[in-house]
Structure 1
Amino acid sequence: MNKKVFVFDDNADILELCTIILEDAGYEIKTSSTSNNIIDQVLSYIPDIIFMDNWLPDVGGIDATRELKQHATLKNIPVIYFSANNDVKSLAEQAGADGYLSKPFDIEELENIIHKHLSV
């Protein structure tokens, strides 16, 4: 059973890059360029891990992550905050994310953080 990854980012290049990397690594991936209706989006897929960009239109990454973390069914899915912001660590903490990844990232960093959070 392949692990499922959901990536939220408003940058189409990042979504494409993540899709290529993660499909190559054997993951199933779903992407979205908006975190509007975040609960419905995530409930419709139930991923094993979520990557959340900071800068998203309308509902930003912090608010979207907080919504997920307050949801009974979804709160245990690890959320990895990712951003080109120098302050990504403190943003991740504010959001209540489980980890963070700075952009630009390399393939190995992306795979390592998934392994770290999905290894049971």
Structure 2
Amino acid sequence: MNRYIQLVEDDEDIRFIVEYILEDSGYHVESFPNATLFLERTNKTEVDLVILDVMLPDGNGIDLCRAHKNDPLTEKIPVMVMSAHARAKSILEEACADDFISKPFDLDNFLRKVKLILNDK
């Protein structure tokens, strides 16, 4: 498959599970525990999907998503936002995200959403 996903999630357990599920499904995953490390990343353009948590210790996924979508280098890379505290419609509109998943989420549903965004079967 060779699809490359970047994941920003501060909760170590959730980050581990999501990374495991994605890698088990054939995706290459690079994960970040906070906004700062995500913003300092060197590989910004060869990414197939970015998954962002909304509430981070040093920022929030809405702002990260908006900046990602306003950057000509990354604007076409899809973003999925996940949160336990936000409503899907407001997140999609405010952050310009391509999709949203509410925490806690069913892992099969999560993986189905990832595959839909990436047009993988």
Question: Do they superpose with TM above 0.5?
Answer: yes
Q: TM (normalized to structure 1)?
A: 0.89
Q: Does the CA contact (< 8 Å) of 2:62 and 2:91 recur in 1?
A: yes
Q: Does the CA contact (< 8 Å) of 1:65 and 1:97 recur in 2?
A: yes
Deviation per CA, 1:55-90: give whole Å up to 9, x if none.
012221111111101111101110001001242331
Alignment of 1:1-40 (within 5 A): 1-36=1-36, 38-40=38-40
CA distance, structure 2, for counterparts of residue 45 and residue 30 of structure 1: 13
Aligned to 2:87: 87
CA distance, structure 2, for counterparts of residue 27 and residue 60 of structure 1: 25
CA distance, structure 1, for counterparts of residue 33 and residue 46 of structure 2: 17
Change (3 A) 1:66 1:92: same
Change (3 A) 1:37 1:13: closer
Quote the RMSD (CA, aligned, Å): 1.9
Q: Does the CA contact (< 8 Å) of 1:4 and 1:27 recur in 2?
A: yes
Of all paired residues, the percent bearing the same amino acid is: 32
- Residue 43 of structure 1, CA deviation: 3.1
In structure 1, stretches of 5+ residues that fail to align are none
- Residue 40 of structure 1, CA deviation: 3.9
In structure 2, stretches of 5+ residues that fail to align are none
Q: Does the CA contact (< 8 Å) of 1:38 and 1:64 recur in 2?
A: no
Q: TM (normalized to structure 2)?
A: 0.88
Paired residue total = 120
